[in-house]
Structure 1
Amino acid sequence: MALNLDDLGITPAGLDAVRPFAVEELDVRGRAVALGPALEKILDRHAYPEPVSRLLAEAIVLTCLLGTSLKFDGRFTMQTQTDGPVSMLVVDFSSPDAIRACATFDKDRVAELEAARGATPEALLGHGHLAMTIDQGRHMQRYQGLVELDGISLEEVARRYFERSEQIPTEVRLGVGELYTRQDGEEAAHTWTAGGVLIQFLPEAPDRMRQADIDPGDAPEGVVPHVVDEDDAWIEAKALVDTIKDVELTDPEVSVEMLLFRLFHERGVRLFDPQPLVDKCRCSREKIEGVLANFSDEERDHVRVDGKIVVTCEFCNARYEFAD
C-alpha cells in the first residue's frame, strides 16, 4: 500500500528544499534534501561535461546539507584544490537560502577518463584538499576545516570532517540522476536531479558519543590501537541509511518525507519545517567595481576587451562592462 502523506497530515517539502528531522529513539538528528530546478539552472548555464556536472551536483547537495545547519546569517563555502582533472570546485551557500557553484576542469583530461570509462568522482578529484569555510560576517572570525583528498568520495569527506573537527559520528548518502522525458516527435528533454541524507549521532550523555582516538600513524610497534565500541543505536541508524538506493534520492516522485518514513517509521521520525533553496548569485555591478578599484594597470589589461573592462562572473555567467 502506497504511503499517503495527506493521511499523515504532512505537506511535502518538494524540490529545492532541505527537511531537518530527528529520530529521538536513536539519538539521531539529520537533514534530507531534494534538488531539481535550482540544480538544473546552475548546471545548465555552464554546460559542463556530464562527469563534471555530476561531481559538482554531489558537491552542491553536500553543501546544502551542511550550510542549512547554520544558526546565524552567514556563508558556508566548500572548495577543493587538487591535481585531478577537476582541479577546483566551489560551492557557496549564503543563509538563509542562496546557493551558487562552479567548477574548473581540464577538458582533455576529463575526456580521457570518459573514454576509459573511469570518470568516477574520486578520479576526477585526484589528490589535494577540500576546505569548508564558515563566515559569520565582517566582525566575526572565520572558521575553516580542511580534509585531505586522497582518492575518497565526497561522502567520506563529510564523515572525516566531522570525525576530526567536531568528533560527531556522521553518515551521508548522496545521489545524482538524469531525467529524460520524450514526447511524440520531439527530442527527449534532459534535466538534472539530486538528493541526499545526512545523519549525526547526538546523544545527551557524552559517554555514549565516545570515539576512538585518531591513529597518529607513527605509533611504536606493538602499540594496541584505541578502540571504542559503537553505540547500538548509531549502528542501527547507519544500517538504515545504508539501505538507501540512488533512485530514492533522485526520483522526484519519492519525496524526502516518504524516504524518511521508510527508514525510520518503526522508531518514529520527527520532521521540522523545511528550508527552501534558490539558485542565487551574490555578484553585482557595485561589488565588481569595488574589486576593479584595487586592480593594477597590468591586471586591468587582462580583462580589457575592445577598450572596455569586461568581467564575467564565474558562478552565474553575468557579464559586466565598464568604460576604461
Structure 2
Amino acid sequence: MTSTPAQPTPAGVDAVVPFTVEALDIRGRVINMGPVLNSILARHQYPGPVNKLLSKAIVLTAMLGSTLKFEGRLTLQAQSDGAVSMLVVDFNAPDGLRAMAQFDAAKVADVASQDGFKPDHLLGKGHLAFTIDQGAHTSRYQGIVVLDGTTLEEAAHEYFQKSEQIPTLLRLGVAEMLTKSEEGGADHSWTAGGIMVQFLPQSPDRMKQADIHPGDAPEGHEHHAMDEDDAWIEARSLAETVKDDELTDPNLTVEGLLYRLFHEHGASVYTPQNVSDKCSCSAEKITAMIQSFSEEDKTEMKAEGMVHIKCDFCSMDYELDANKVFKD
C-alpha cells in the first residue's frame, strides 16, 4: 500500500479513504456516499427522517466494516422503543452494503415535526449492537451499547472506549439534495459522509498517556486520571471542527477535507476501498432457512404449495415450491 500527501485532488465517491497523520499519531477513515446510498434507499421508499437516520448508520457501518482484514461481516443493529424500532446495516467484506429499518410511520411523523428535530431522536430506549463475524473458524465478537437519548456518534464512541479502548472521534453528516427534474418538478437524492480519527501512539511516552479507562475498581476507590496527550487533543479538536455541510458537499472531495484539517502535519491518504450496494441473500440461503422450520410449519407450507418470501434488505421476491424444498 502506498501513501501520498493529502491534496485537494479528485477522488471517487462511495469509497472509504484510510489516512494517517504521523505527526499526531492518528489514523482514520473518511467516506463520501452518493449513488450507492441512493440505490439502497430508493428500493425501500422510507420517509425522509428515516432515510436520514439510516444513512448515518450506513456511513458508520461502512467506515467500521472497511477495517476488517479478512472475509467477514460487520453488522450494526439498533433496537429501541422509539419511532424507529429497528435498524440493521450489514457490511460484507470486502465491499458489500445492505440496510433496512422498521418503524411506526405515525410516530416518525410526530417526532420529526417537533422543534429541534434530529434523526437520532427517532431512536428511543434500547441498545445498539456491533457484531463482527469473520467466518466459521473464528469466534464471533459483539459489543453492545445502551441507547437512551444517545446519538449514533455517541454510541460508537462508547463502543470504542469500552470494547477496544482506543480514543476515537466520529462525525457523521447527511443531506437531502433537490435538483430540478426534466418534467419541471424536483428530484430527490441523498448524500452522506463521515470521518473517524483514532489515537494510536507509537512512541513509549505517548503510549503512557493514552486515554484508556482503568476498568472496574472497588466502590469508593478513586482511580488516577491520566492527562490526555497533547497530540490527541489537537487531532480531536481539529476533527470536531468538521461541519455537516463539509461531510455532505458533493464538490468537496475527501482528500480536500483532509487537506483542510491536517495539511500542516503532513497527512497521508491510502488506497480507497470502494463500497457497493450488494445483498447477500440467495435462493439457496432462503431454502436453507425454511428447511430449519418446525415440522408443523413445513406441513402447512406443503399444503399451500408455493412459498413466497421477500428479502427485507433488497426487496427481492423468492417463490419456492414447498413440496420440492421439503421432499423426502
User: TM-score normalised to the size of structure 1?
Assistant: 0.91
TM alignment of 1:77-88, pairs within 5 A? 77-88=75-86
* 1:109 pairs with one of 107, 110, 113: 107
Report matched runs for 1:208-287 at 5 Å: 208-213=209-214, 219-220=219-220, 224=222, 226-287=224-285
Shift of 1:183: 4.8
- 8 Å CA contact retained: 2:6, 2:258: no
Instruction: Number of aligned residue pairs: give it.
Output: 315
State, as a whole percentage, how many aligned pairs show the same letter.
52
**Partner SS, residue 320 of structure 1:** strand
C-alpha spacing 1:13/1:305, structure 2 compared with 1 (3 Å): farther
Q: Report the equivalent of 2:134.
A: 136
| Gapped regions of structure 1 (runs ≥ 5) | 1-6
CA pair 237-296 structure 1, distance change in 2 beyond 3 A = same
2:155 aligned partner: 157
Most deviating of 107-116 and 38-47: 107-116
In the TM superposition, what whole-angstrom CA distance separates every residue of 1:245-302 from its partner, at most 9, and x where no partner exists? 1111111111100000000000110111000000000000111111111123554699
1:194 aligns to what SS in structure 2? strand
TM-score w.r.t. structure 2 length?
0.90
The CA distance in 1 between the partners of 2:6 and 2:310, in whole Å, is 48
The answer to whether the Cα contact below 8 Å between 1:309 and 1:323 also exists between their aligned partners in 2 is yes
**Corresponding residue number in structure 1 for 2:25:** 27
Q: Is the 8 A contact 2:81 2:123 kept in 1?
A: yes
Distance in 1, matches of 2:300 and 2:173, equals: 39
1:13 to partner: Cα distance: 3.1
Structure 2 CA distance for aligned equivalents of residues 274 and 281 of structure 1: 21
> For residues 94 and 34 of structure 2, what CA distance do their matches in structure 1 show?
18
Picking from 121, 124, 127, the partner of 1:126 is: 124
Which is further off, 156-165 or 22-31? 156-165
Instruction: Give the counterpart letter for 2:306 in structure 1.
Output: K
Q: What RMSD, in angstroms, separates the aligned Cα atoms of the two structures?
A: 2.3
Q: What is the letter of the counterpart of residue 59 of structure 1?
A: A
Matched, 1:318 2:319: no
Gapped runs of 5+ residues in structure 2? 323-328
Over 3 Å counting, the alpha-carbon distance change for 1:185 and 1:134 in structure 2 is closer
Q: CA deviation at 1:308?
A: 1.8
Question: 2:73 matched to which residue of 1?
Answer: 75
Preserved contact between residue 212 and residue 228 of structure 1 (Cα < 8 Å) = no
* Residue 205 of structure 2 corresponds to residue 207 of structure 1: no
2:214 is matched by which residue type in structure 1?
D
- CA deviations 1:186-209 (Å, max 9, x no partner) are 111110110000000000133131
Q: 1:129–1:183: structure 2 CA closer, same or farther, 3 Å change rule?
A: closer
